[in-house]
């Protein structure tokens, strides 16, 4: 039985490499989250300060549980309005691990909001920071450890990060955003062998609308579309219900990839916790136990808004 289990793990790891290496070498995708609706500022700097309060957010994702080298992502962000002239500031830290690679990104966000009408607001955002990439080719388990293609790791390879975004919303009713969290494309070449790792510019489009089903129930369908050169377009559609401004429950669908269940609880006016589970609908689902998202948000009132806004986005 031990031999069978070992072979199973090796097969699963090879499948992961077959999927992950083309992405790593040619068109690496940013990390993805099922609860993307709570992670807006990391992909769109124009969202910074839009909730009107000081907002701390943390998201952890463990993808394809049980598969060696599967992706793991941790995001921490904070953002807040500054003064009373439509300025918002934010800070984001993202740490990703997949197979032999580890990535860390630290960025600062700036937004400026103008009012198109009493209830309609348009925000422009700018993101800037640094990106560090490490690749340990030894984790690929080469048959020949002396193979020169596996001897030269990528260590703390630095690249700049510049992003742009726009975000339009109508009070607490609807929103639409378009952004690229990093408009720069960077190739990391090895000096001695012909290996390359690339970070490509990603384009994000997000939108959502909040319907009042009853006095105590709100319904919000939302969509995220992500595009990057060298990888398929990612399409996420979600539907969430909010009960009594406290409990959130819903589901989402990622095109040709996964179906998910989501739940969240607003413990008090400041603290919210959330969880999502993905069921993999691809062949890779035969080799893992699904994916898990954990979300935490903590908010404090500001001079602009003394109390926390229970807005659904």
The pLDDT tens digits for 36-56 are: 888 899 999 999 999 989 999
CA dihedral 160, 165, 171, 174 (to 10 degrees): -120
244 falls within a domain = no
Cα–Cα distances in angstroms (integers) from residue 194 to residues 21, 25, 159, 236, in the given order: 14, 11, 20, 35
pLDDT of residue 153: 75
What integer pLDDT is reported at residue 26 of this predicted model? 40
Residue 268 lies in a domain: no
φ/ψ region of 20 (left if φ > 0, alpha if ψ in -120 to 50, else beta) reads: alpha
Instruction: Enumerate residues 6+ apart whose C-beta is below 8 A from 1.
Output: none
Is residue 130 within 8 A of residue 106, CB to CB? The reply is yes
pLDDT at position 83, please?
Answer: 81
Residue 157 domain flag:
yes
Q: Answer yes or no: is 267 within a domain.
A: no
- Say if residues 186 and 210 touch (Cβ distance below 8 Å): no
Cβ(226)–Cβ(233) under 8 Å?
yes
Residue 182 CA, chain-centre distance (Å), reads 13
In a domain, 26, yes or no: yes
Q: What is the pLDDT of residue 307?
A: 58
pTM over 0.85: no
- Which residue, chain included where needed, has tokens 């494309």? 185
Instruction: Give me the pLDDT at residue 156, please.
Output: 78
Domain membership of residue 85 (yes or no) is: yes
The confidence score (pLDDT) of residue 263 equals 97
Neighbours of 235 (CB within 10 A): 16
Does a structural domain hold residue 286?
A: no
The 8 Å CB, 24+ separation contacts for 280-284 are: 280/64, 281/256, 281/257, 282/256, 282/257, 282/258, 283/15, 284/15, 284/16, 284/19, 284/64, 284/67
| Residues lower than pLDDT 50 in the chain | 1-28, 192-194
Task: Name the residue range of residue 99's domain.
Answer: 2-212
In a domain, 312, yes or no: no
What domain count does the chain have?
1
């Amino acid at each position: 039985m031990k031999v069978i289990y070992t072979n199973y793990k090796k097969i699963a790891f090879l499948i992961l490499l077959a999927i992950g290496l083309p992405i790593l070498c040619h068109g690496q995708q940013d990390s993805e989250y099922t609860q993307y609706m709570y992670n807006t500022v990391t992909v769109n700097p124009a969202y910074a300060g839009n909730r009107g309060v000081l907002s701390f957010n943390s998201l952890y994702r463990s993808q394809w549980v049980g598969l060696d080298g599967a992706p793991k992502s941790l995001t921490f962000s904070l953002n807040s309005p500054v003064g009373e002239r439509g300025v918002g500031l934010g800070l984001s830290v993202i740490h990703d691990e997949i197979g032999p690679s580890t990535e860390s990104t630290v960025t600062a966000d700036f937004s400026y909001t103008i009012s198109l009408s009493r209830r309609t607001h348009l925000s422009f955002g700018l993101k800037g920071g640094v990106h560090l990439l490490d690749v340990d080719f030894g984790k690929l388990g080469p048959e020949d450890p002396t193979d020169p293609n596996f001897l030269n790791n990528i260590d703390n390879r630095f690249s700049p990060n510049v992003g742009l975004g726009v975000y339009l919303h109508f009070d607490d009713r609807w929103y639409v955003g378009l952004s690229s969290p990093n408009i720069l494309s960077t190739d990391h070449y090895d000096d001695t062998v012909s290996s390359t790792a690339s970070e490509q510019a990603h384009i994000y489009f997000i939108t959502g609308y909040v319907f009042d089903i009853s006095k105590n129930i709100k319904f919000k369908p939302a969509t995220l579309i992500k595009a990057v050169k060298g990888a398929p377009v990612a399409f996420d559609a979600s539907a969430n219900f909010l009960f009594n401004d406290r409990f959130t429950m819903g589901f989402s669908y990622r095109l040709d990839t996964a179906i998910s269940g989501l739940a969240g609880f607003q413990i008090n006016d400041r603290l919210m916790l959330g969880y999502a589970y993905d069921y993999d609908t691809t062949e890779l689902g035969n080799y893992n136990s699904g994916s898990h998202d954990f979300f935490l948000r903590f908010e404090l009132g500001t001079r602009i808004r003394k109390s926390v806004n229970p807005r659904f986005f």
